[in-house]
Amino acid sequence: MTVLVTGATGFIGKRVVLQLAKRGLDIVAADLDLGENKNILFNQYQNSGFDIKKLKFEKLDVTSQDNIENLFDKYSFESIIHLAYGIGKICEDHPVLASEINIVGTARIFEKLVEKKIKRMVFASSETVYGANQAFYGNRAINEKDFCGIDQHHFTYGVMKLLNEFMAEKYIKKFNCSIAYTRPSIVFGYGRQNTALNWAEDFAAKPAIGEKVNLPFSKNNIDNWIYVEDCAEQLVQLSLKKTLDFSSYNTGSETVTGEQLVNTVKDFFPDAEFIFDESIKSTPLIDDQDDSRLREEIKFNPRSFRDGVFALINDARIAKNLEPLKKII
């Protein structure tokens, strides 16, 4: 079985590749960036003892129809995990380019799914499809049936993800193809790549090496978090499961306040320094997700926020040649 992973050298993508490798699958890792990030992924793959013959790298620009045609003519895929996407400032500052990558590029992958009769496509949507205002929904966990109007949205990125979902549903109904998408909350872990959510790494990575942390929210802020390895595992399991009951899946794991976040890190580093921005009462994200649909579908429970923080801390320390922590019960 050969699986195509687009955006394969990215923050989530490289974890997806390694999770697929654990299952002994043939993988085509496609990305626009085949520089240092490719080298990091290849070294991780090789050092894990995986068969290097089962991994192929391909340069992929989803804005190029010729590039996509050549890729799908060269390989026969049974599943696609689509993660190639423009995020952060590119959506706000360069909406035309972002649309070419995020909307047209994703539509091109949908077309190939149908044309080549590929069994399954999975892509990462986002919790931002629910808008930026928890108060709109009330004091409860949001489920997959919830929806808000355009006036509740803060991020162009979220609206683009919503359009991807709409198009996916059209392809499912028109062509009877199998597409599923997840709606991750804040994905945290080591190795984010200069995005607006770098604080979702810094909050634990900086104390791990003795640095102070500035947080862009108040201590009463509430957010839902999922560790990056678990986010990748969810995508992989959805891509490989024989049949699926739904197309949309919330993937939130645990909801914490700003104060709880800090206290979790201080369990490991009591002297860690944090500075809240009390002028920002909350991030422009929803507070809580009901992820019971996905837990039931794939019988997988993400790790606790605390366990994810512990893993992030040790990844940060190892990257700086520091001794990893022993787990505190």
CA 2 – CA 25 distance, rounded (Å)? 6
Q: Dihedral through CA 60, CA 64, CA 66, CA 70, nearest 10?
A: 20
Residue pointed to by tokens 């060269």: 74
Rounded to the nearest 5°, which phi and psi values hold at 152?
-90, 0
CA 136 – CA 157 distance, rounded (Å)? 19
Q: Dihedral through CA 32, CA 36, CA 41, CA 46, nearest 10?
A: 130
Rounded to the nearest 5°, which phi and psi values hold at 301?
-110, 120
Q: Which residues of the chain have pLDDT under 50?
A: none
* Torsion sign across C-alpha atoms 32, 156, 234, 307: positive
The pLDDT assigned to 328 comes to: 67
Question: How do the residues of the chain divide into helix, strand and coil, expressed in percent and rounded to 5?
Answer: 45, 15, 40
pLDDT in tens, 199-255: 999 999 999 999 999 999 999 999 999 999 999 999 999 999 999 999 999 998 899
Contact yes or no for 2/25 (Cβ under 8 A): yes
Where are the chain's structural domains? 2-184+226-252+288-302
From residue 257, how far is each of 105, 219, 221, 243, 279 by CA, in Å?
Answer: 36, 7, 5, 37, 16
The pLDDT assigned to 327 comes to: 77
Contact yes or no for 187/200 (Cβ under 8 A): yes
State the DSSP code for 64: -
Query: To which CATH superfamily is domain 2-184+226-252+288-302 assigned?
Result: NAD(P)-binding Rossmann-like Domain (3.40.50.720)
- β-partners of residue 57 are 29
